[in-house]
Amino acid sequence: MLPIALLYLSLLFPNHVSSQETTSSPQSLIEEGDRHWSLRAGDPRNPETDSKEIDQAIAVYHQALEADPESLSVRWRLMRALFFKGEYLTEENETKKKIFNEGKTIGEEALHRIRIEASKRTGQPMDRAGPVDLAPVMKSSPDTVATFLWSSANWGEWALAYGKFQAVRQGAATKIRDLATAVSLMDPNYAEGGGYRVLGRLYHQTPYVPFVTGWASTKEAVGFLRHASEIGPHNSINRLYLAEVLWDLNKDSRNEAVKLLEDLIRDAPRPEFFVEDQAAQERARELLEQWREKN
């Protein structure tokens, strides 16, 4: 039963009470966060992206997580927003560490909840199962796919912020590999080949450490990134990463690498990925300049 004060409010101002209840619901908070997320590019005419909208998205997703701590839907959205802020709007490395550390922590908490759900579905204890083992059990859960991808993305940037070798020693490379592999198994098309994109970048950038990351391979990376580019041919990050790995593969593949970057630079940024595409184009220009100096 409503308290007396709320009862009078509901009689006199029914829309007011309904609005308060709606505003505080996890679903309405997700929708509000998504609205801010869609505006993350700010004013495209302004060369400096305003962080106001992404900061508001993060704040609202935090509220939604407080309202529903079990929600994977909230968790992957929050990880996605943190990744964007750390990757595109943050320059200071110590700040990056804090952002991506939060992102990977949210991902680890989400993994714990996914294991609980998988145990319920199978009737078997899966409290130690890794993402690859969980993939067939949770394949029908789009939120699990998204959670694994954005967890792998935050782990990846966390590794870069703390240093590749330190991250490898702490098991980050294996963690990222397993999360991204699970994504590619569950939904190869998710985020325009996101699972393959992360795997390709990981296999290319991971330093070789005997008995730890012997699986890393530039040749394998090319295969993953070609898969990603076939799924998402207009995705600027797929094209950028593929060009980088082709340049490093051998001299015979360097003409293709250059053409990929030249085509990327000529394309207009996609409105829904304006910041991401502009950043990829800027990186492409830098790489082309470096490559031409070496030649």
pLDDT (0 to 100) of residue 170:
82
Closest CA to 208 of 199, 217, 221: 217
Q: What is the tens place of the pLDDT at every residue in 66-104?
A: 999 999 999 999 999 999 999 999 999 999 999 999 999
Closest CA to 276 of 229, 248, 240: 240
Residue 158 has pLDDT above 70, yes or no: yes
The pTM of this model reads 0.89
pLDDT (0 to 100) of residue 79:
98
Closest CA to 266 of 276, 250, 280, 253: 280
Q: Over the Cα atoms of the chain, what is R_g? A: 21
Distances (CA, A) of 58 to 72, 96, 231, 255, 257: 15, 15, 29, 41, 36
Q: What is the tens place of the pLDDT at every residue in 202-241?
A: 999 998 777 577 888 999 999 999 999 999 999 999 999 9
